[in-house]
Amino acid sequence: MKTHAPFYSELDSPVGTLLLRGDAEALTGLYMHEQRHLPELPAGCERNDRAFRQAREQLNAYFAGKLQEFELALAGEGSAFQQTVWKALCKIPFGATESYGGLAKRIGNANASRAVGLANGKNPIGIIVPCHRVVGANGSLTGYGGGLERKQWLLEHERRYAER
């Protein structure tokens, strides 16, 4: 149970304004404005840019092509299955993609590609937990809570810097 007051911050980025949420211990959310599944800020949530200094620095470095792996305390809330999927997302290398079916096989349930897709769509910590790296079985861009244009931008950005 969380005992610390929740905070939020906003960060301008190449994919639009990002909303960061968390507390004194961990980042609990990273959302794009106009995103599906964008929760309202909880009561008593205060803006505190300093609380997100590390996250802001790492995101800026990511967008500048200087960071490929985030090192932040994360605490996205979700079911045990969702947590398993989100941990597996973090193992998809920068600049790479994986299909929903491939991700389902990797977590030990080859028949769960639809459930993996649903868990992927509920990821509360976009970009840092790289749900944008999951694509259709044929490599096509499929649903993304932040919009397909943003997903395409993120994938192209990563490919550009992964090749260096």
Our answer to whether residue 90 is catalytic in this structure is no
Classify residue 16 as left (phi > 0), alpha (psi -120 to 50) or beta: left
Q: State CA 112 to chain mean position distance.
A: 20
Query: What number of other Cβ atoms are within 10 A of residue 56's Cβ?
Result: 17
- For residue 157, the one-letter residue type is H
> Which residue among the candidates 59, 89, 112, 131 is catalytic per the annotation?
131
**Please, what is the Cα angle at 159 between 126 and 116, to 5 degrees?**
40
Query: Is the Cβ–Cβ distance between 140 and 97 less than 8 Å?
Result: no
Q: Does residue 129 contact residue 119 with C-beta atoms inside 8 Å? A: no
**CA dist., res. 119 & res. 79, Å (int):** 9
Q: Which residues contact 102 (CB under 8 A, 6 or more apart)?
A: none
Q: Which residues are catalytic?
A: 131
